[in-house]
Amino acid sequence: MIEPRVLKGFRDFLPDQEAERQRIMNLLGRAFGANGFVPIDTPILEYTEILLGKGGGDTDKQIYRFEDQGGRDVAMRYDLTVPFARFMAAHLHELYLPFKRFHMGKAFRGENTQRGRYREFVQCDFDIVGTTSASADFEIVLMIDRAFRTMGVDGVRVHFAHRGVFNALLESLAITEGADEVLRIVDKLRKIGEQKVRDQLTELIGSDPAEKVLTLVSASGTNAEILATMKSLVPGAAEHTDRIEQILTAAEALGLADRLALDPSITRGLDYYTGIVFETFLVDLPAIGSVCSGGRYDNLAGLYTKEQLPGVGASIGLDRLMAGLEELGLSALDVRAADAIVLCLDAGLMAHYHAVAEQLRAAGLRVEVFPDQKKLGQQFSFAEKKGIPAAILCGEAEHAVGAVNVRDLTTRTNTDGISVETAIDVVRGICGAGK
Amino acid sequence: MIEPRVLKGFRDFLPDQEAERQRIMNLLGRAFGANGFVPIDTPILEYTEILLGKGGGDTDKQIYRFEDQGGRDVAMRYDLTVPFARFMAAHLHELYLPFKRFHMGKAFRGENTQRGRYREFVQCDFDIVGTTSASADFEIVLMIDRAFRTMGVDGVRVHFAHRGVFNALLESLAITEGADEVLRIVDKLRKIGEQKVRDQLTELIGSDPAEKVLTLVSASGTNAEILATMKSLVPGAAEHTDRIEQILTAAEALGLADRLALDPSITRGLDYYTGIVFETFLVDLPAIGSVCSGGRYDNLAGLYTKEQLPGVGASIGLDRLMAGLEELGLSALDVRAADAIVLCLDAGLMAHYHAVAEQLRAAGLRVEVFPDQKKLGQQFSFAEKKGIPAAILCGEAEHAVGAVNVRDLTTRTNTDGISVETAIDVVRGICGAGK
């Protein structure tokens, strides 16, 4: 006998969880569709050089990488961004720009499974590629907001900053070599606190520059006040502060002002980003961290094509999101698997039971047929476990006169000797009442 | 520069194809849900011993198998049946029986990529586990029929036979050792023809037995006539011919008789099946072969649990199905990516364009906002490529008086100087007319 275990960091999805995941993915898909984003998909398995660069030089141990049957060096995708870059380079001539896509799919990383991280996880990425406009930056913010509102989450706050402002400040301080390290230190602000960041920055770039960097990243107040701080601190970044202003103005015009927070402490560790960067927090659940992050980049697919492809996008981690929704009571778990069940009182009436079920289905109801002539108690208990609120009972006597009995499984009351047409109405009443 | 190629047998899905795949998966999910089937998911990666048995002894070269970072022998799932067996063994105590699940997901086989086979493919499996009833057998047939009708395919024919009848015939002919080989030869009937099958069978089991096997598997006529042949040829299989009769009777009662064909030539190569077996053909496209196959089995999860789990199920290969639907003209390709596009006449009005789009979206329309102030011709051409039928135009002059212009991109006619509320009606008219 083989133990039916799954790999560490991998999970089965039981019906309630999987139905909930599909519900969320459908909601997200519809939200993206409302803005003209179109879906794509790419393979789970790619050439390693595509995912990690030529030679796969500094192979990340977190990547599932192996040699396939044909001796090819292959790897499982570890995010949806790199495959998207490859996709754009490969299909540029078949597409139109700006190209707005969303992509929901599994990705794989053999990382430490502590803190609710999984080795198989579902990402939902959306990007607008082929435009440098503020309009696209703003649309991503708008999209994030609606995506969460579609799922019933009203308390969403998008925190954003501009990488260009940060870089301009460092430049004005003549910091070039240590810039990456400064970013890394600032990124820890929330975790290690202002004093430790001050100490580390001072050691790296000296006291005065450290103070200036801290003034920028810990600026507080209203969006307008923070923008003013930015402008006075980094006068050479007018192009970028103008961009921020445009986004804030649009947010105000669309009634989003209180859900969008200018927050210079957001830097996003990656070199990749060049323009606005953002993270998204649930007001009622700040502890789970950012549920949607992203930013603007200059060149998506430079590894694979000479075509310059600027864009802006964001990524939602579905696993963390689902945990968050459950904690907020916004999950639709324990949904009923069917509206009614046709019980089996007499196995000889099998065909009749299916025919009755089909009549109910034709009326738009979701109907289960119990297949075995078991004790009624067992059949009721089955219905309860599946969350089915109504049962249709029909024995030889009822069948002889073309009637059925309907039982409300919640109130345990019967409506007996009625036609299937009437039964449809009764079931509808039971389902409506149970909502 | 790295060439943006994908692995042989793997594919990108461009927006039209991916939207179509999601449409089909949604339709299938809804069809299954109407019968009380619930969704599950399992990991792409599993312990090799789970997928191939202990030691992975006779490793199939088609399997993607490797050692992970932790030195574990792992493999990518090559179907959804084996993971389902493991799933049932692992979660038996959390579930209820009979358990009806569907599972749509990717599977991987490094097989020959000729003849439209892919190394990454999507399966859709559905099973009823924990019952030996004819009712469940029939429900799978009913489910296949509705699944295809949901997709617009009316010409579907489910061919079925009963493995028990076949086995009983072989037993009555005292053929035990060569039974598997007989199955293999019979399975080639369609491909190599009756005479060659006769020759091979005669060589294996002798002339008289060969003739009897051929009489069974090439029986023709109405379902009732074929059933009569079965009964007279294999009188010792009453239990199984009764089961066939029950299924045929139910099919007749539900008006499915002409879509269900008793066909003793269907054997399904696998040892696995013990009861009814079936294959499904598209009447208008027989050449693509079976689009949905399956059958009844005695014991799903014997490798992982002592619990006996009989069941019945079927599997749809989504890639072949999608190719079939396209050939039948039943695909919904080239759908419009949005109902309307708000064009960019003045980048300074960016916030206003998004606000107008949001008004249209609130009315249920799917709306794109063009982000860049490009030449109108370029914007129109973009809309055309995305299949968008209506454009909203608003320059400084219109904005000043709170008006917009709507252009029907098909007829190239304008409705100018109207309010956004009126524009919504105009766009609806354009969309309705274009359907």
B371 vs A contacts (CB less than 8 Å): 98, 128, 131, 133, 135-136, 139
The mean per-residue pLDDT over the stretch B196-215 comes to: 93
Contact between chains at B34 and A367 (C-beta distance less than 8 A): yes
Q: Give CA–CA dist B269/B183, Å, rounded.
A: 7
> Is residue A6 included in any domain, yes or no?
no
Beta-carbon-side half-sphere exposure of residue A412 (alpha carbons within 13 Å) = 4
Same domain, B314 and B345: no
Q: What percent of chain B has a predicted confidence (pLDDT) above 90?
A: 85
Same domain, B83 and B173: yes
pLDDT band with cut points at 50, 70 and 90 for residue A435? very low
Output the 3-class SS for A318-348: HHHHHHHHHHCCCCCCCCCCCCEEECCCCHH
Structural tokens at position A400: 């002889």
Same domain, B294 and B370: no
Same domain, B210 and B311: yes
Q: Is A306 on the interface with B (CB under 8 A)?
A: yes
Q: Is B421 on the interface with A (CB under 8 A)?
A: no
B106 vs A contacts (CB less than 8 Å): 44
Q: Is B311 on the interface with A (CB under 8 A)?
A: no
Q: Give CA–CA dist A51/A74, Å, rounded.
A: 9
Specify the pLDDT at position A229. 95
Chain A: residue nearest B256 by CA? A355
Specify the pLDDT at position A350. 97
Q: What is the DSSP string of A130-181?
A: S---HHHHHHHHHHHHHHHHHTT---EEEEEEEHHHHHHHHHHTT--TTHHH
Q: What's the angle, vertex CA A118, arms to CA A115 and CA A123, rounded to 5?
A: 115
CA distance A383 to chain B (A): 10
The residue among B65, B101, B305, B372 with the most chain A CBs within 10 A of its CB, best to mutate, is B372
Residue B139 has pLDDT above 80, yes or no: yes
Residue A56 has pLDDT above 80, yes or no: no
Question: Do the Cβ atoms of A34 and B363 come closer than 8 Å?
Answer: no
> Is residue B386 included in any domain, yes or no?
yes
Specify the pLDDT at position B55. 61
> Is residue A5 included in any domain, yes or no?
no
Q: What percent of chain A has a predicted confidence (pLDDT) above 70?
A: 96
CA distance B62 to chain A (A): 8
Q: Is B19 on the interface with A (CB under 8 A)?
A: yes
Q: Give CA–CA dist A137/B354, Å, rounded.
A: 12
Same domain, B102 and B231: yes
First-to-last CA distance in chain A? 44
B136 vs A contacts (CB less than 8 Å): 371
The mean per-residue pLDDT over the stretch B166-188 comes to: 88
Residue type, B131: T
Where is the domain boundary, B296, B327, B358?
B327
Q: Give CA–CA dist B398/A211, Å, rounded.
A: 49
CA distance A52 to chain B (A): 11
CA distance B92 to chain A (A): 11
Q: What percent of chain B has a predicted confidence (pLDDT) above 70?
A: 96
B366 vs A contacts (CB less than 8 Å): 33-36
Residue A413 sits in a domain whose CATH number is: 3.40.50.800
Contact between chains at A41 and B49 (C-beta distance less than 8 A): no
Of B18, B39, B41, the CB nearest to A39: B18
Which has more pLDDT, A118 or A268? A118
Where is the domain boundary, B303, B327, B351?
B327
Domain of residue A356 covers 340-434
- What confidence tens digit (pLDDT) does each residue in A403-432 have? 999 999 999 999 999 999 999 999 999 998
Where is the domain boundary, A303, A327, A351?
A327
Question: Do the Cβ atoms of B288 and B282 come closer than 8 Å?
Answer: yes
Q: Which residues make Cβ contacts (< 8 Å) with residue A66, sequence separation at least 6?
A: A74, A75, B64, B66, B67
> Is residue B27 included in any domain, yes or no?
yes
Of B42, B249, B357, the CB nearest to A351: B249
The mean per-residue pLDDT over the stretch A307-334 comes to: 92
A18 vs B contacts (CB less than 8 Å): 38-41
CA distance A205 to chain B (A): 36
Residue A269 has pLDDT above 90, yes or no: no
Interface of A with B in 185-244 (CB under 8 A): none
Of B54, B351, B361, the CB nearest to A253: B351
Q: B120 in helix, strand or coil?
A: strand
Which has more pLDDT, B175 or B114? B175
The residue among A30, A35, A87 with the most chain B CBs within 10 A of its CB, best to mutate, is A35
Q: Give CA–CA dist A409/A388, Å, rounded.
A: 8
Q: Give CA–CA dist A259/A160, Å, rounded.
A: 11
Q: Is A387 on the interface with B (CB under 8 A)?
A: no
CA distance A35 to chain B (A): 5
Same domain, B354 and B396: yes
Residue B272 Cα to chain centre, angstroms: 21
Structural tokens at position B36: 């009380």
Q: Give CA–CA dist B15/B25, Å, rounded.
A: 15
Question: Do the Cβ atoms of A63 and A119 come closer than 8 Å?
Answer: no
Report the 10 Å Cβ neighbour count for A51: 21
CA distance A262 to chain B (A): 18
Sign of the Cα pseudo-torsion (B171, B174, B175, B176, in order): positive
Question: Do the Cβ atoms of A303 and A261 come closer than 8 Å?
Answer: no
Element (H, E) at A377: helix A376-385
Question: Do the Cβ atoms of B370 and B379 come closer than 8 Å?
Answer: yes
Q: Of A56-60, A188-192, B234-238, where does mean pLDDT reach its minimum?
A: A56-60
Residue A186 has pLDDT above 80, yes or no: yes
What domain count does chain B have? Answer: 2
The mean per-residue pLDDT over the stretch A97-108 comes to: 97
Residue type, A364: G
Specify the pLDDT at position B58. 55
Interface size between A and B, measured as CB pairs under 8 A:
317
Of A90, A128, A337, the CB nearest to B38: A337
Phi, psi of A302 (to 5 degrees): -55, -25
Residue A92 Cα to chain centre, angstroms: 26
- What confidence tens digit (pLDDT) does each residue in B316-359 have? 999 999 999 999 999 887 678 999 999 999 999 999 999 999 99
Same domain, B246 and B98: yes
B382 vs A contacts (CB less than 8 Å): 96
A333 vs B contacts (CB less than 8 Å): none
Same domain, A390 and A303: no
Phi, psi of A156 (to 5 degrees): -120, 135
Burial of B51 (0-12, 13-18, 19+ CB in 10 A): buried
- What confidence tens digit (pLDDT) does each residue in A121-152 have? 999 999 999 999 999 999 999 999 999 999 99
- What confidence tens digit (pLDDT) does each residue in A354-401 have? 999 999 999 999 999 999 999 999 999 999 999 999 999 999 999 999
Chain A: residue nearest B387 by CA? A36
pTM tops 0.90: yes
Q: Which residues make Cβ contacts (< 8 Å) with residue B4, sequence separation at least 6?
A: A50, A86, A87, A89, A90, A301, A304, A305
CA distance B199 to chain A (A): 38
First-to-last CA distance in chain B? 44
CA distance B147 to chain A (A): 13
> Is residue A59 included in any domain, yes or no?
yes
Residue A23 has pLDDT above 90, yes or no: yes
Residue A434 has pLDDT above 70, yes or no: no
Which strand ranges, in their side-by-side order, compose the sheet holding B404-408? Answer: B367-369, B340-342, B390-393, B404-408, B413-418
> Is residue A148 included in any domain, yes or no?
yes
Chain A: residue nearest B355 by CA? A254
Specify the pLDDT at position A59. 58
Residue B175 sits in a domain whose CATH number is: 3.30.930.10
Of A33, A66, A91, the CB nearest to B14: A91
Residue A316 has pLDDT above 90, yes or no: yes
Of B10, B11, B91, the CB nearest to A14: B91
Same domain, B22 and B147: yes
> Is residue B263 included in any domain, yes or no?
yes
Q: Which residues make Cβ contacts (< 8 Å) with residue A162, sequence separation at least 6?
A: A237, A240, A241, A243, A244, A275, A276, A277
Specify the pLDDT at position A57. 54
Same domain, B20 and B113: yes
Interface of A with B in 70-129 (CB under 8 A): 70, 72, 74, 76, 86-87, 89-91, 94-96, 98, 100-101, 106, 108, 110, 119-120, 128
Chain A: residue nearest B47 by CA? A7
Of B40, B249, B305, the CB nearest to A4: B305
Same domain, A355 and A322: no
Q: How many helices (H) and strands (E) does chain A have?
A: 16, 16
Going by C-alpha positions, the residue among A403, A360, A407, A363 that lies closest to residue A383 is: A407
> Is residue A135 included in any domain, yes or no?
yes
Same domain, B423 and B401: yes
Chain B: residue nearest A88 by CA? B4
B356 vs A contacts (CB less than 8 Å): none
Contact between chains at B133 and A350 (C-beta distance less than 8 A): yes
